[in-house]
Amino acid sequence: MPVESPAPLTTLTEDERLLRDSVRAFAEGEIRPLVREMDEQQTIPRTLIDGLFALDVMGIEVPEALGGGNARFFHAVLVVEALSRVDPAIGVLVDVQNTLVVNAIRRWGRNEVQSRYLPRLAADTVGAYALSEAGSGSDAFAMATRGVERGDGFDLTGRKLWITNAAEADVFVVFANVNPDAGYRGITAFIIERGAPGFTVGAKEDKLGIRASSTCELLLDNCHVPTGQVLGEVGQGYKVAIETLNEGRIGIGAQMIGLADGALQHAIAYTQERKQFGRPVADFQGVQFQLAKAATELEAARLTVYNAARRRDAGEPFLTEAAICKLFSSEVAERVTSLAVQLFGGYGYVKDYPVEKLYRDAKIGQIYEGTSNLQLQTIAKQILSKG
Residues catalogued as catalytic: 369
Query: DSSP states of 278-301 as a string?
Result: TEEGGGSHHHHHHHHHHHHHHHHH
- Decide: 232 and 144 in contact? Cβ < 8 Å: no
Please give the Cα distance from 163 to 132 (Å, whole number). 7
Listing DSSP states for 298-351 in one string gives HHHHHHHHHHHHHHHHTT---HHHHHHHHHHHHHHHHHHHHHHHHHHGGGGGST
Instruction: In whole angstroms, give the CA distance from residue 250 to residue 124.
Output: 24
**Separation between Cα atoms, residue 245 and residue 100, nearest integer Å:** 7
> Are the C-beta atoms of residues 251 and 80 closer than 8 Å to each other?
yes
Going through the chain in order, the beta strands assigned E by DSSP cover 127-130, 146-150, 153-164, 171-177, 187-193, 199-204, 215-226, 230-231, 275-276, 279-280
The residue type found at 38 is: M
SS3 219: strand
- Cβ atoms of 257 and 332 closer than 8 Å: yes
Rounded to whole angstroms, the Cα distance separating 121 from 131 reads 19
- Give yes or no for a contact between 370 and 244, defined as CB atoms under 8 angstroms apart: no
Decide: helix, strand or coil at residue 231.
strand
Taking Cα atoms as reference points, which of 186, 117, 190, 116 lies closest to residue 153? 190
Helix, strand, or coil (residue 4): coil
